[in-house]
Amino acid sequence: MSCGVENFNLPLQGRLQAMLRFRRMRMSQKLAEVHDVVTNHFK
């Protein structure tokens, strides 16, 4: 069975959850980068 088909059969809730988790990860990564820049700037 291909991964795409399994993904398609996932309940919508699970897919939304995964997307949100991914987005949250990206957001916190961006925040960390900005934080580093600001911290280094004021050293």
Which domain does 7 fall in, by range?
Answer: 3-41
pLDDT tens digits along 16-40: 899 999 999 999 999 999 989 888 8
DSSP characters for 1-43? --HHHHHHHS-HHHHHHHHHHHHHHHHHHHHHHHHHHHHHHT-
How many domains does the structure of the chain reveal?
Answer: 1
Amino acid found at 11: P
| DSSP letter (8 states) at residue 7 | H
What is the pLDDT confidence band of residue 7, given thresholds at 50, 70 and 90?
A: low
